[in-house]
């Protein structure tokens, strides 16, 4: 176990699937009380059952992270169930693909609301809870896509993920007065349900372009999130960790071929 979160209250948005599910299971394995949030209840219930069957503590709340009232309800329910909020993992996100010429303005707004506005809403809703005990941790799931790399069809997604980092650098200053840190994990290509939807050809090409020659696992991201939320990272705020198997490093395809 990397760290103990015994008795701590942890919100994981997008906790029903993929990276969020991995993060939720990771915190539960470290003794945390985990509140999972997503829109579809069947997958939430499935994840809660899995965590409980391993001896962990978990509950779930249906929540649309782009909706202010829904996010406020999530935080209120978490505080009621677990006595407060110690850690917010702002992880929920979507990555539909459409090139600019085909991208409808409403679809742009939908991605920005789900990925970026949600980060603001979740942090805003948690501030009163962090303030009560003058402590808190926020871990954002950003991406290498947008802040560092690009892929055709993801202008809206890349903008949302880069926007999260702009948000975090200012938020780190504002949250300091509540004894709260905020940092981000920047995953490379991680094997999740959402990524499987992009097709085997995409997955094979992605793995071939990664120096460590494999896609990341949800546990790879969970480990970084757990570190950033732990006492080991209590003096780190406004920072990012790239977790990508070296994906951003090769200058050219020749660099990969020469490994």
Residues marked as catalytic: 157
Contact call for residue 91 and ligand NAP (CB under 6 A): yes
Contact call for residue 26 and ligand NAP (CB under 6 A): no
* β-sheet with 9-13: strand ranges across: 57-62, 33-38, 9-13, 87-90, 136-141, 180-187, 240-243
Closest CA to 37 of 83, 113, 93, 110: 93
Beta pairing partners, 33: 9, 57
- Give the one residue of 61, 78, 180, 189 binding ligand NAP; rule: CB under 6 A: 189
Q: Which part of the chain contacts ligand NAP (CB under 6 A), choosing from 12-20, 101-109, 119-127, 171-179? A: 12-20
- Give the one residue of 79, 126, 190, 228 binding ligand NAP; rule: CB under 6 A: 190
Binders in 97-156 for ligand NAP, by CB under 6 A: 114, 141, 143
Instruction: Judge contact between 118 and 65, C-beta under 8 A.
Output: yes
| Smallest gap from residue 83 Cβ to ligand NAP (A) | 23
| Smallest gap from residue 180 Cβ to ligand NAP (A) | 21
Residues forming the site for ligand NAP (CB under 6 A): 13-14, 16-20, 37-40, 43, 63-66, 91-95, 114, 141, 143, 187, 189-190, 192-195
């Amino acid at each position: 176990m990397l760290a103990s979160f015994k008795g701590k209250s942890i919100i994981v948005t997008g906790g029903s699937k993929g990276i969020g599910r991995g993060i939720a299971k990771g915190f539960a394995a470290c003794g945390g009380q985990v509140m999972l949030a997503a829109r579809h209840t069947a997958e939430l219930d499935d994840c809660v059952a899995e965590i409980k069957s391993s001896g962990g503590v978990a509950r779930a709340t249906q929540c649309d992270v782009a909706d202010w009232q829904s996010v406020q309800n999530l935080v209120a329910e978490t505080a009621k169930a677990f006595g407060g909020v110690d850690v917010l993992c702002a992880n929920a996100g979507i990555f539909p693909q459409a090139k600019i010429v085909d991208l409808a303005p409403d679809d742009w707004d939908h991605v920005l609301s789900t990925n970026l506005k949600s980060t603001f809403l979740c942090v805003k809703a948690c501030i009163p809870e962090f303030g009560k005990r003058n402590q808190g941790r926020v871990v954002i799931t950003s991406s290498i896509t947008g802040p560092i790399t690009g892929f055709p069809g993801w202008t809206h997604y890349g903008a949302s993920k880069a926007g999260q980092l702009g948000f975090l650098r200012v938020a780190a200053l504002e949250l300091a007065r509540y004894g709260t840190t905020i940092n981000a994990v920047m995953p490379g290509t991680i094997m999740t349900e959402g990524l499987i939807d992009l097709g085997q050809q995409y997955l094979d090409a992605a793995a071939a372009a990664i120096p460590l020659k494999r896609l990341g696992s949800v546990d790879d991201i969970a480990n970084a999130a757990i570190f950033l939320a732990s006492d080991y990272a209590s003096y780190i705020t406004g920072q990012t960790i790239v977790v990508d198997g070296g994906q951003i490093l090769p200058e050219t395809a020749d660099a990969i071929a020469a490994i």
